[in-house]
Amino acid sequence: GAVVSQHPSRVICKSGTSVKIECRSLDFQATTMFWYRQFPKKSLMLMATSNEGSKATYEQGVEKDKFLINHASLTLSTLTVTSAHPEDSSFYICSATTWGDSGGYNEQFFGPGTRLTVL
Amino acid sequence: AQSVTQLDSHVSVSEGTPVLLRCNYSSSYSPSLFWYVQHPNKGLQLLLKYTSAATLVKGINGFEAEFKKSETSFHLTKPSAHMSDAAEYFCVVSDRNDYKLSFGAGTTVTVRA
């Protein structure tokens, strides 16, 4: 399958600072990237859908001003956690995909995730 | 709205014995169903998917799942577990309303030597 990378894999920051997480599709052009959040022992929760060149669509309950998403190219999307607080500590996972010819997304390829710890 | 319920949070099996991971789904539209595996420090990997073709779906690494509409189930099985199967498994549903993925809570599989 296609390869999706995330950087950094781990980050520790102080409360009140901002952190940027990168998601890259390494061997294909991803028209759509998704950002998920995974709590310990919990499922993945979709945060937002990011389409190249347009504003991200956020799921209900996700603060768009806190979690800034930029999808400036077909191979890169970034998630910036602004003014981070300890409750933002989590595992953030991205996926990348394209829209299928017969409708619906093609297979989503997932990055390895980024562990964010806010002190 | 769509959702999945994974009936077991943890499954422990002996190497060489069968594995069964149970999943029930709810969907307002014709669903697509998936099983993903998550190994530590690696991205989620697609094991198999059902998209309205054959109800018995074969996936990678010897896994298969059967879609049963009458039972709204999509259980994952493997006839003989291997140590490398120890991981977190997610049942996932998507419907043709918005094509987004909704994940179950996950099942942790441990394999005993």
pLDDT number for residue B97: 66
Q: Does the pLDDT value for residue B14 go beyond 90?
A: yes
Token pair of A93, please?
A: 């996972």
Token pair of B55, please?
A: 């109800």
Beta carbons of A104 and B104 less than 8 Å apart: no
Give the angle B1-A95-B76 at the CA atoms, nearest 5°: 60
Beta carbons of B94 and A104 less than 8 Å apart: yes
Q: Which residues contact A88 (CB under 8 A, 6 or more apart)?
A: A66, A81, A116, A118
Beta carbons of B101 and A46 less than 8 Å apart: yes
Question: In sequence order, what DSSP letters do the residues of B58-107 get, joined into one string?
Answer: E-GGG-EEEEETTTTEEEEEESS--GGG-EEEEEEEEETTT---EE---E
Rounded CA gap, B40 and A34, in Å?
20
Of the candidates A4, A43, A107, the beta carbon closest to that of B43 is on A4
Tell whether B31 is within 8 A of chain A (Cβ): no
Beta carbons of A43 and B42 less than 8 Å apart: no
Mutate: best of B101, B102, B107, B108, partner A, most A CBs <10 A: B101
Tell whether B7 is within 8 A of chain A (Cβ): no
pLDDT number for residue A17: 97
Of the candidates B101, B102, B105, the beta carbon closest to that of A108 is on B101
pLDDT number for residue B29: 74
Mean pLDDT of B57-68: 95
Hey, how many other C-beta atoms are within 10 angstroms of the C-beta on B75?
A: 18
Residue ranges, chain A, pLDDT below 50: none
| pLDDT band (50, 70, 90) for residue B52 | confident
pLDDT > 90: percent of chain B: 74
Mean pLDDT of B35-40: 92
pLDDT number for residue A35: 97
Of the candidates A49, A105, A107, the beta carbon closest to that of B46 is on A107
Beta carbons of B90 and A104 less than 8 Å apart: no
Beta carbons of B106 and A9 less than 8 Å apart: no
